[in-house]
Amino acid sequence: MRKILHILGLLICCVVILHANNLAYNEYGKVVASWALGDEFGIYTSSGSRIFFGVKEIDSKNKHNAILDGYGWKTVSNSTYYGYYPYNTNYVSNGNVMTALPVSYIGQAQTSNANLDHLAKYDYMVSQTTTTETEASFTFAHYGSIIRFACYVPTEMTFNSLEISSKTGEDLFTTEANMNLPNQTITSTSKSNKATLTLNNITVEAGDSLIAYMMLPPTDLSGKSMMLSLNATDGSALQTYIAGVNIQAGKVYPVSIGRENYFKLSATSTSDDNTEEVLSLPVGLEEKKTTAQITTATAYATDFMPDTENEMRPFLLGDVNFDGKVNVTDAVKVTSHYLNDTTDELDFNVSDINGDNKINVTDVIGITNIYLHTE
């Protein structure tokens, strides 16, 4: 979506086109950030007054470094500043924005296979710095996390959405939140039992993989089971389960579903929009322009690093012995565990079929039903 911002008042009606920072996934599992000309950063002083910067120049040798132009606004030396990205005109009306900066993860939409462009809108970044007499340098840290899905597709399909949902219906996913810039914490204001990524009718040929990216805020999903659904335009879906981990800020979590972690093909109800948004904003900032005082600042964004200690592991619900299928052997193993004939530790993600945090005869029945209804 392209956003055109009409800046009124002190900036004398200049028009700024907002771009998004570029993200690229490389062979080492990192997502590398780089700025784009026109990117906008909101900056707050410790007193709460507001200014904003735009990317004037990009470092030709290091693309994730940028030089920011203060648009004529003066900074105060030896003062603390709090930075955030992306700048959003809607925040201006919120008088408590420095301690309650609104963020949202709703509406993520990927336009093509393996494309990351949609993430920039949700790549909330924060920084804190103390200015010198002539310059401010901001190091922006990513506040969100990226889940990278690489999903083997057995037959040609066209997909319109990807969903991860709680097996138990628990509201695991923060959809909207407030961020406190001084202490860089986030407080959820809205949660849901699922997170959705719209796929723009992405067609994947048989034997190829759908590569999809979803941004989430830091969330402890340790011990949680989630259903992964790839919903196709014909009403069918590829479904499996994934085991959650502690999702941490600034990290990438790859989930790979291949032939050994096959999807179950199931029918779903079919369900079933590029708009241009024009915003108008009168700017009235406390720190006013003074003669020939142009503030220049440098900024750079850290890269998303792969989390090598945690793994978002796919599994088949009921596949207790992890042999890639659900059958009577799994039911027997759960029965033996339930009757205390064995001391084998069972994985609750896989064995607790009904999600009641207990492994008992109900789960044996659940595994049996899965086995009997598996094609």
Given this model, what pLDDT does residue 91 score?
A: 64
Query: Across the chain, what does the average pLDDT equal?
Result: 79
- As given in the structure block, the two tokens for residue 340 are 């205390």
- As given in the structure block, the two tokens for residue 1 are 């979506």
The CA distance from 110 to 219, in Å, is 22
Given this model, what pLDDT does residue 86 score?
A: 86
The CA distance from 315 to 152, in Å, is 14
Q: CA torsion angle for 66, 72, 78, 80 (degrees, to 10)?
A: -70
Query: Does 331 score more than 50 pLDDT?
Result: yes
* Predicted confidence (pLDDT) per residue in 209-247, tens digit: 999 999 999 999 998 999 999 999 999 999 999 999 999
- For 51, 232, 238, the CA distances from 266, given in Å and listed in that order, are 52, 10, 6
* Predicted confidence (pLDDT) per residue in 87-140, tens digit: 876 665 555 678 888 899 999 999 999 999 999 999 999 999 887 776 778 899
> pTM here?
0.82
pLDDT band of 73, cuts 50, 70, 90: low
- Which of 45, 255, 57 minimizes the C-alpha distance to 149? 255
Lay out the sheet containing 209-216: strands in order across.
209-216, 145-152, 251-257, 305-306
* Percent of the chain whose pLDDT exceeds 90: 36
Peptide bond into 86 cis (omega under 30): yes
Given this model, what pLDDT does residue 275 score?
A: 30
